[in-house]
């Protein structure tokens, strides 16, 4: 009897392990735009994305580790622990906007992002680097130098490149908060759809 119980226990654990290995996961490491600044959790684009995946019966686990006000330096400090605890299939990096707000040198921002991707590789996670766009009032020189680091990083590290998720939203006043930085709750489903389409095109599911 004991042998039968042990065999059943072993088979159950084996099946669970096989299933867990098959289910891919996407960890979002971002700032307030991904953390859902100014709105309840269920309205955030990451939660809308979860529902969309569920509706489509797609097994991709979404883990949102975004924090409002996060910089690339802060993200780097947190990355090792987050990756160790979750071991995601993919790491979506949406960072840099707050660095630009503080006027940090693009070279410093790039180095921090490179270190985050380096850590991701040690845990077997494929990185997706999202392009960050900043307003023109930063000056063309700084803006061009800053925005160019994302394509450079994607090429240098062979990471996946994702266009800025607010490309089709930032110029729509009704989809942006009064600060001109954060998307409204009405914009969240649109962002979720953009991310969904991108992931679908990459066939990460």
User: Is-catalytic flag, 182?
Assistant: yes
The SS3 of residue 5 is: helix
Catalytic residue of the set 32, 66, 125, 159 = 32
* Closest alpha carbon to 37 in 74, 69, 77: 69
**31-42 pLDDT, tens digit each:** 999 999 999 999
Residue 167, domain CATH: 3.40.50.1110
Does residue 17 form part of some domain? no
* Closest alpha carbon to 26 in 121, 126, 151: 126
Does residue 121 form part of some domain? yes
Number of other CB atoms surrounding residue 75 within 10 Å: 26
Give the chain's length. Answer: 205
Beta-sheet strand order (sheet of 90-94): 60-64, 24-30, 90-94, 126-130, 160-162
Does residue 99 form part of some domain? yes
**62-80 pLDDT, tens digit each:** 999 999 999 999 999 999 9
* Total-model pTM: 0.88
In the predicted structure, residue 11 carries a pLDDT above the cut 80: no
Does residue 11 form part of some domain? no
Does residue 103 form part of some domain? yes
| pLDDT score recorded for residue 171 | 87
Does residue 52 form part of some domain? yes
Boundaries of domain holding 141: 24-202
Per-residue pLDDT, averaged over 1-23, amounts to: 50
Does residue 149 form part of some domain? yes
Q: Kind and range of the H or E element at 126?
A: strand 126-130
Domain count, the chain: 1
For residue 173, give both structure tokens.
């006043």
Per-residue pLDDT, averaged over 8-35, amounts to: 70
């Amino acid at each position: 009897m004991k042998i039968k119980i042990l065999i059943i226990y072993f088979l159950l654990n084996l099946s669970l392990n096989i299933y867990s290995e098959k289910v891919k996961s996407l960890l979002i490491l971002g700032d307030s735009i991904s953390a859902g600044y100014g709105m309840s959790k269920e309205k955030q684009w990451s939660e809308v994305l979860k529902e969309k995946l569920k509706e489509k019966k797609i097994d991709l686990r979404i883990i949102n580790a975004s924090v409002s006000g996060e910089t690339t330096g802060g993200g780097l400090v947190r990355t090792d622990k987050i990756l160790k605890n979750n071991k995601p299939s993919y790491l979506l990096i949406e960072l840099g906007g707050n660095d630009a707000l503080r006027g940090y040198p693009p070279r410093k921002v790039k180095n921090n992002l490179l270190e985050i991707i380096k850590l991701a590789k040690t845990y077997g996670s494929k990185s997706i680097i999202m392009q960050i766009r900043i307003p023109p009032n930063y000056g063309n020189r700084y803006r061009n130098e800053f925005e160019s680091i994302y394509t450079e990083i994607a090429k240098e590290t062979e990471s996946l490149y994702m266009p800025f998720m607010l490309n089709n939203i930032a110029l729509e006043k009704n989809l942006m908060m009064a600060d001109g930085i954060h998307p409204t709750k009405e914009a969240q489903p649109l962002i979720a759809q953009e991310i969904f389409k991108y992931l679908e095109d990459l066939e990460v599911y």
